[in-house]
Amino acid sequence: MNPNFNTVDLIRKKRDGNKLNASEIRFLITEYTRGNILDYQMSAFLMSVYFQGMDFDETACLMQTMKDSGQVLDLAHIQQPVIDKHSTGGVGDKVSLVLAPLVASCGVCVPMISGRGLGHTGGTLDKLESIPGFRTDLSVKEFKRQLKTIGVAMIGQTAEIAPADKGLYALRDVTATVDSIPLISASIMSKKLAEDLDGLVLDVKSGNGAFMRDYKKAKMLAHNMVQIGKRSGVKTVAVLTSMDDPLGVNVGNSLEVIESIEALKGNGPNDLMEVTFALAEAMLRIAKIKGGRKLLEQKITSGAALDKFREVVEHQGGDAHIFQDYSLLPVSKHNIKVLAPKSGYVHAINTFAIGMLLVELGGGRRQKEDKIDSSCGFKIYKKKGDYVNKGEPLVEVFSSYVRGAHTKRTAVQDLYTIKRYKVKHRALIRETIS
C-alpha cells in the first residue's frame, strides 16, 4: 500500500466536500481492487461520493482507473463495426436480450459486458443465468473468439475486465449508493470503454422506476457519459427514455427471457419494441449501416435475429431447447392474479415498488451474497392510461411459495392509482444527446 496516502484521510476529504486529485482516486480504487482497502471503508467512501458528488475531472479519472484495473480488449481482429449498448436500468428492462442479437444479425459486432441487478432494477446477467447452463463468466479469450465467430457475446465483468467495477457494483447495490451520477457514469463507462468500441449507445432512463427519477438529473447523467465517451474517442449517443411503467409485460428473470424470445419472434409488446428499435437504429447509424427500422423489422420477420440469440445461448453453454419449450425455464407454478378494486383509468403505477417487491420475492439481492430466485416475478396486465373494470386483473404474481404470492396481493394492489378520468401519456422516447 502506498505510504503517502491514508484511506481514512481520503474518505474524510471527500466526506467534507473536497476534490480528490488523480493520484488519490487511483490509490483508493487500486488498493481496494488489491484487497488492501476493506468493504466497509469503500462503502464509506461511496456514501461520501453519493452526498458530496464529484466534478467531471474526478469522474473521468474514477472511470479511467476502474477501466485500467483490468485488461482493455484489443478487437482489431474484428472486421465489423464494434458497437455496444447500455441501460441505466429499469423495471422489466430486458432490451439487451432483444437488441444484442437483433443488431448483430444486421452485421454489427456487439461485445456486451453487462451487470447484475442493482437495487430495484433487474440485471441482464441475472436474466441470462436463468437459462439452464448459460455461462456469463467467459474468459477474455473465449469472449473474443465468440465475437469473431458469431458477432455477439453477453458476459459480466471478470477478473480480467474492469474488476474494480465488479467489486464497487456489488457494494453499491447493498449500501443505497446506486443513484449517484459520478458513480453510475464511471461504472458504465469503465466497462464499456474497456471493450475497444467504435461506438456506444446509452439508454438513460428517468421516472419513478428509474435510478434518476428526475428528468433533469437523467439528462445531466447522459451529458456526463457522452462527454466521457467523447474524451475517450468513442462515438457516444444517449437516448433518454421514460421509466414510469415497467417495460414490457413481464418482470422477473426467467419471465423476461420468455418475453425476449417472443419479441424476437415478432410478438414483442409495443413499448419494449419502441425502445429497442430506437436504440438499435442509433447503433446502426454509428455503424453506418443503412436500412434503419425497416432492416431491423426484416431481421425479426425472417427469423435471423432469433437465430442469432439461439447462437448466443448455444455458444455460452445454455439449453437452446428453451426456444421451443419454455417449461425448461424456472417459472414458478404458484401464481395469483391481483384484481382491480374499482373501475377507472390507471393514472400511475409505483414502478419502483414493483422492483422492490421482486427483491422481496427473491428475484433481487438485499446483500451481495444473496442467491437469486429466477422463477418469481410479475405479469403486468394494465399500465398507465389503460382503462380497467372492477375485478379485472391488474398484475399476476409468481412466487416459489404459495404464501409468498398471496402476501403480495394487497401490496401490489396499492401500487396502482385508479381514477375516473383519462390521463395524459408521457412520450417513451424523450430526447437524444450526441
Beta-sheet strands, E only, within 207-313: 235-242, 250-251
The dihedrals phi and psi of 306, each to the nearest 5 degrees, come to -65, -45
**Under DSSP, is residue 25 helix (H, G, I), strand (E, B) or coil?**
helix
**Contacts of 22 by beta carbon, 8 Å cutoff, 6+ apart:** 61
Give me the amino acid identity at 107: G
pLDDT in tens, 304-335: 999 999 999 999 999 999 999 999 999 888 88
What pLDDT is recorded for position 161?
Answer: 81
Averaged pLDDT, 207-232: 92
| Average pLDDT, rounded, for the chain | 92
- Give the active site residues: 86, 165, 172, 187, 191
Among 262, 51, 257, 84, which residue's Cα sits nearest to residue 161? 84
What is the pTM (predicted TM-score) of this model? Answer: 0.88
**Contacts of 227 by beta carbon, 8 Å cutoff, 6+ apart:** 56
Nine cell digits for residue 384: 398507465
Among 180, 183, 153, 141, which residue's Cα sits nearest to residue 165? 183
Rounded CA-CA distance 307/313 in Å is 10
Least confident of 192-206, 296-310, 355-369: 355-369
What pLDDT is recorded for position 262?
Answer: 98
**Contacts of 156 by beta carbon, 8 Å cutoff, 6+ apart:** 113, 114, 115, 116, 125, 136, 137, 166
pLDDT in tens, 348-383: 999 999 999 998 888 877 766 678 888 999 999 999
Sorted by where each starts, the structural domains of the chain and their CATH numbers stand as: 7-53 (1.20.970.10), 83-323 (3.40.1030.10), 330-419 (3.90.1170.30)
Sequence length of the chain is 434
What pLDDT is recorded for position 408?
Answer: 78
With 90 as the cut, is the pLDDT of residue 410 above it?
A: no
pLDDT in tens, 44-98: 999 999 999 999 999 999 999 999 998 888 998 899 999 999 998 889 999 999 9
Residue carrying the nine cell digits 474488476: 163
Greatest alpha-carbon span in the chain: 68
Sheet with 344-349, edge to edge strand ranges = 387-388, 344-349, 416-419
> Do the beta carbons of residue 160 and residue 166 sit within 8 Å?
no
With 80 as the cut, is the pLDDT of residue 139 above it?
A: yes
